[in-house]
Chain A
Amino acid sequence: MSAGSPSTAAGFEQELTRPWRERAWRQTRGAAPIFAILLSLLVWIAIRNPNFTDPPVFLAFLKRAAPLMILAAGQLFVIISGEFDLSVGALITAVVVAAAGLTEGDPGRTWWVIALLFGLGAVVGLLNGLITTRLRVPSFITTLGMLLVLQGAVLFWSGGAPRGSLPENFRIFGRFGFESVPVIEQLPYSVIILAFVGIVAILLLHRTTFGKQLFAAGGNRRAATLSGVDVPLVRTIGFVLSATSAVIAGILVGGFAGISQDAGAGYEFQAISAVVLGGAALGGGSGAMVAAMAGALSLEALFTLLNLLGLPKPSRDAVQGLIIIGAVAFAAYRLRRT
């Protein structure tokens, strides 16, 4: 199941001494198909809509994909460690509704509210992690319960429908960008945030001891523990990272679209699908950051393409379902051959 992941304590020691580039490559190699899929989707879109290759149009596409890509980056940490995070969609909704209710449209409150939202994310991630690792509740159930709690709590707090409004200086992150940039016209802030999150996530996963320990924890728990990895701690950090990514995604979604009580609906399954499309194995131990984010971008490209092809919404669902199954089946097949 876990190509490129150490399966014994000795293997893990060996893994630690391997140069990081080689390790990152080994972890990314298994995901090569996703880049082929992404490329063909982008080419197909460009054929159907020639101005897709204009820098502004393409950046607008990236801007739209940014929340899902960031979410996929966070989800990957959890999935590599062998867990699930189903609470991210509800957390996005909670972020948007809470931001509107707490700022009440007052730009002066934006910064402390954002700080508070990151605090909320940290608490949610910590709870997910502690309940899963200390109370030994399977993460599927922990985060499903957290989904219900967040969804109910935020609507209970706001009286059933969102209150307040989002100030302009909160919304700029998801909505606007640097203007009058040569060639690309506008450089959306969300694309800059995406690049930043992407780089941090890649370094964190593929270049730090934490990253190595995460792979070890998901690949072979016993071996990891024997080599001195604090598996519960590493997994908990994974959940905190996932929740943090959901807060960032929530700020971008709220910025892009404004207040909605369904802001995060469906994101949890999309994020997991993206990560899996990017070649990560559910169950842990393998995956690559660039590939997971490429998986998210491919999903977004797929939605855009199906839109361009003029497919009615219902058949888009069916095609999406078939493609996800097909891609994962193909990856499983490749894995078995090597």
Chain B
Amino acid sequence: MNATTAAPNRAGRNWRGLDSDTALIYGVLSLVALVSWGLILANGGQINVANTLVRSVALGMVAVGQTLVILGGSLDLSVAYQVSVTAVMASYVMQGNPDRMILGVVVVTTIGLAIGLANGLIITVLGVNPFIATLGMALVLRGVLNSSFDNFAGAVPEQFQVLGYGAIGPVPLAVLLFAAVVAIAWILLRATRFGHHLYAIGGSEETARLSGVRSGRVVIGAHMLCSLTCVMTGLFIVSRLRAGAPWVGPDGNYDLESIAAVVLGGTALIGGRGGVLGTVAGVLILALLDNLFNQLEVNTFLKDVLRGVIIITAVAVYALRTRRGRA
């Protein structure tokens, strides 16, 4: 865990709070896991860790991307529709034909990068607040999707479904993919100049710029990476569903839930503090809570209340700890 702390320090951030925050969140994660698995065992059920992990993959990958943009002081509210765009276009291009798999992946990756680039340019070059820029982008994507497709479009070939259902030994392929995305994001943040600059910009864009960081490029890069994670999630979902439809992203609530997972994982919404490991824990906690709620048969509407309270409480605890840490 030592290496994790080096990078933000170099970027001039106070990193002590972060490290213990990460420890705290993993403590909470273990507690939630123990309680929910204990209850399942008590009810005579089986614990299916693989399935819990697979449940977290879709939200998890988006949340990793969201972590990057949030660390840079930005935000992406268009992720849900980006997921839809990928899912729809992938099945539309592939049309069930195995020979078109690579073409499909190339097309959706290109579109994804273009959307990320557009988000980044609107925010940095046009100077539009990220909240409005990506909200507007979400509306645009929704409009284009719904006017072009009104149902499941095409299909992905059976071979492609390996991504969603395949496993190597006991480990689902999707979980490995998720782990790879997390690892790459972690390395990017900790061991590259891009990562250091991102923390610096999120901490204070002005200071970063004065110390020679080309903040525009870094923010645009973060948005393109975030869009890439949406592409991965879209591909994963389409492989699970066999075909993509315009509603798969918004139905999964990936926009607000990814932000919730990020802050639950201890990343500050104003940027500059946090990291992907916390986000992973945040995502897993949300999944385990779902599991726990299902076990306890918590009323559906009460679940929302509990989620709201948990998110606010978690962030309040981080805020309190940060203040204590400074004092």
Q: Give yes or no for direct A-B contact (beta carbon below 8 Å).
A: yes
A-side interface residues toward B, CB under 8 Å? Answer: 84, 131, 135-138, 140-142, 144-149, 151-153, 155-156, 160, 269, 272-273, 276, 281-283, 312-322, 324-325, 328-329, 332-333, 335-336
Q: Which of A84, A325, A333 has the most CB of B within 10 A?
A: A325
Most A CB atoms within 10 A — which of B260, B311, B312, B316?
B312
A291 to B256, CA, bound (A): 29
* B209-267 interface with A by 8 A CB criterion: 256, 259-260, 263
Enumerate chain B residues within 8 angstroms of A141, measured Cβ to Cβ. 260, 263, 269, 311-312, 315
User: Which B residues are within 8 Å of any A CB, using their own CB?
Assistant: 122, 126-129, 131-133, 135-140, 142-147, 256, 259-260, 263, 268-270, 299-309, 311-312, 315-316, 319-320, 322-323
Taking a contact as CB atoms under 8 Å apart, the answer to whether A321 and B139 are in contact is: yes
A-B pairs with beta carbons under 8 Å apart, 13 shown:
A136-B319, A137-B312, A140-B259, A141-B269, A145-B308, A149-B305, A149-B309, A272-B135, A315-B143, A317-B140, A317-B143, A324-B139, A328-B133
Can you name the residue of chain B whose Cβ is closest to the Cβ of A332? B127
A305 nearest CB across to chain B (Å) = 16
Tell me which residues across on chain B come within 8 A of A152, comparing CB atoms.
Answer: 301-308
Residues of B within 8 Å of A318, CB to CB, are 139-140, 142-144, 147
> Which residue of A has the minimal Cβ distance to B263?
A141
**Chain A residues with CB under 8 A of B268:** 138
CA distance A300 to B166 in the complex (A): 49
Is B316 in contact with A282, judged by CB distance below 8 angstroms?
Answer: no
**A135 CB contact (under 8 Å) in B136, B142, B319:** B319
**CB of B194, distance to nearest CB on chain A (Å):** 25
Main secondary structure of the interface of A (DSSP, over half): helix
Contact in complex: B308, A320 (CB < 8 Å): no
A119 to B311, CA, bound (A): 25
A273 to B134, CA, bound (A): 12
Known: A144-B256, A314-B147. A329 touches B126 (CB 8 A): yes
Residues of B within 8 A of A322 (CB): 136, 140
Q: A160-B300, A325-B122, A328-B129 are in contact. List 18 more A-B contacts (CB 8 A).
A: A135-B320, A137-B316, A141-B260, A141-B311, A148-B308, A151-B301, A153-B305, A272-B131, A281-B129, A317-B142, A317-B146, A318-B143, A318-B144, A320-B143, A321-B136, A321-B140, A322-B140, A325-B128
Complex: A148 Cα to B323 Cα, angstroms: 27
A138:B137 contact, CB within 8 angstroms: no
- Chain B min CB distance to A131 (Å): 6
Query: How far does the Cβ of A323 sit from chain B's closest Cβ, in whole Å?
Result: 8
With both chains docked as a complex, state the minimum distance between the C-beta of A130 and any C-beta of chain B, in angstroms: 11
Report yes or no: A316 in contact with B263, Cβ–Cβ below 8 A. no
Which residues does chain B contribute within 8 Å of A313, judged by CB atoms? 146
- A62 CB to closest chain B CB (Å) equals 25
Separation of A184 and B307 alpha carbons in the complex (Å): 49
Select A329's contact among B127, B304, B311, B323, beta carbons within 8 Å. B127
Complex CA gap A283/B128 in Å reads: 12
Residues of A within 8 A of B259 (CB): 140, 144
CA distance A152 to B263 in the complex (A): 21
Instruction: Give the docked Cα–Cα distance between A190 and B303 (Å).
Output: 36
**A30 vs B279: C-alpha distance in the bound complex, in angstroms?**
40
Which of B136, B146, B301, B316 interacts with A155 by CB under 8 Å?
Answer: B301
Residues of B within 8 A of A273 (CB): 132, 135
- Known contacts A325-B122, A329-B122; is A147 also within 8 Å of B308 by CB? yes
CA A318 – CA B306 in complex, angstroms? 34
Asked if B128 and A160 make an inter-chain contact with CB atoms under 8 angstroms apart, the answer reads: no
Output the least CB separation between A82 and chain B (Å): 11
In the complex, which residues of chain A have a beta carbon less than 8 angstroms from the beta carbon of B256?
Answer: 144
Pair A149/B127 contact, Cβ less than 8 Å: no
Other-chain residue from A135, A147, A149, A328 in contact with B316 (beta carbon distance below 8 A): A135
